[in-house]
Amino acid sequence: MNKVYLTRPLLPDFDDFINVSKEIYETQWITNMGEKHNLLEHILKDELKVSHCSLFNNGTTALLVALKAMNLPVGSEVITTPFTFAATPHSIVWNCLKPVFCDIEPNTMTIDADKIEELITTNTSAILGVHVYGFPCNVKKIDEIAKKYNLKVIYDSAHCFSTEIDGVGIGNYGDISMFSFHATKLFNTIEGGCLTYNDDKLEKKIYNLRNFGIKNEEVVEEVGINGKMNEFSAAMGLLNLQIYKEEQNKRKKVKEYYDDRLSKIQGIRVPKMPDNVTNSYQYYPIVIEDDYPISRDELYDRFRGNNILVRKYFYPACSDYECYRDDTSIVRTSLDVVNDIKNRVLCLPYYGDLSIELLDKICQIVE
């Protein structure tokens, strides 16, 4: 059997992409805030229901700039979750800030807001939450804590394109949010990402930081970076915007199939999206409980033996990385839930064109 991957990139009709590429060739403007870039940025504001959106060449650079734009004191601490992709804590360190890992909630697997306060010191400047697999953090409680201690809030929303909480676009929470448009994401621009925020003053700052800190031809105002999205990526995004909802509808059916078969299996827990949250359909995680006959790793091996490339997202946790694990100022509290979940979670193949035969095979393996 051919290898079955966790996902497949959403790709528009090839001829459509060729046609828009021809348009770009004709303009001779292939990067640096071109026409397609500006159009995508504009349309995304509506799509994500936010007042400001700034495009980037990838989500990681966007997160670097998000932290930079918050003007946090050098060396100050950012409370975050270790149950995430490497880019989250690495972006903190690249900003000369210190990540401090907080435990997670067992159900949403997002940062446990009830455990944040005990980690706050006079040196804490921000909270960086991750809406992991599209499950929103406890945004209300995090907002209360941030107000009480005067902290900035940054969200890594890499997994939740189009997610809404009670009809509000998830990119409206906190001071600033980052979305990833990597090829593996529901909505992709090949590589790409964006920042969303409501503070008008941030717009110019982010524009400059994304472009080396250049204010004008003769003035470089601050230490920026090259975070610009090119025209071909923007064109891919404009085309994918037309088809991502269709992909979501297909994934909804895949989810229903999985839910139906897997929820009947003893020892398999399927984390449930809260009723007031719209699912982005980015990942399909399952949790292997104690009463399942084999361990997560054994199940993983069985899938791999069948050429089905499930993923242990997020194992290892970031708190296990060599660069973080021995620093007691970073890992300074017990991470019991993280250390339990990281050994139980498994993400199953999830894309619209998964055939019924494959879905059946995947479920049979778990059964």
The residue from 59, 89, 169, 285 that contacts ligand PLP (CB under 6 A) is: 59
Q: Does the protein bind ligand PLP through residue 87 (CB under 6 A)?
A: yes
Question: Which spans in the chain are helix H?
Answer: 14-27, 35-47, 59-69, 87-94, 139-149, 201-210, 231-241, 244-262, 296-305, 322-325, 336-341, 356-366
CA dist list (Å): 297 to 35, 58, 364: 48, 31, 17
308 vs 347, which CB is nearer to ligand PLP? 347
The residue from 85, 155, 187, 350 that contacts ligand PLP (CB under 6 A) is: 85
Burial class (CB in 10 A: 0-12, 13-18, 19+), 308: buried
193 vs 237, which CB is nearer to ligand PLP? 193
Segment interacting with ligand PLP, rule: CB under 6 A, options 71-79, 85-93, 110-118, 257-265: 85-93
Q: Does the protein bind ligand PLP through residue 88 (CB under 6 A)?
A: yes
Exposure string (b/e) for 148-177, b if CB count within 10 Å is 16 or more?
Answer: eeebbbbbbbbbbbbbbbeeebbbbbbbbb
Binding footprint of ligand PLP, residue count (CB under 6 A): 14
Strand partners, 235: none
Q: Tell me: cis bond preceding 316? Omega within 30 of 0 counts.
A: yes
Per-residue contact flags (x/-) with ligand PLP for residues 110 to 139, judged by CB under 6 A:
--------------------x---------
88 vs 196, which CB is nearer to ligand PLP? 88
The residue from 158, 345, 348, 362 that contacts ligand PLP (CB under 6 A) is: 158
Per-residue contact flags (x/-) with ligand PLP for residues 174 to 193, judged by CB under 6 A:
------x-x----------x
292 vs 349, which CB is nearer to ligand PLP? 349
Q: Does the protein bind ligand PLP through residue 156 (CB under 6 A)?
A: yes
In DSSP notation, 64-119 reads: HHHHHHTTPPTT-EEEE-SSS-THHHHHHHHTT-EEEE--B-TTT-SB-GGGTGGG
Rounded to the nearest whole angstrom, what is the least distance from the CB of residue 363 to ligand PLP in the complex?
Answer: 26
Q: Which residues bind ligand PLP (CB under 6 A)?
A: 58-60, 84-85, 87-88, 130, 156, 158-159, 180, 182, 193
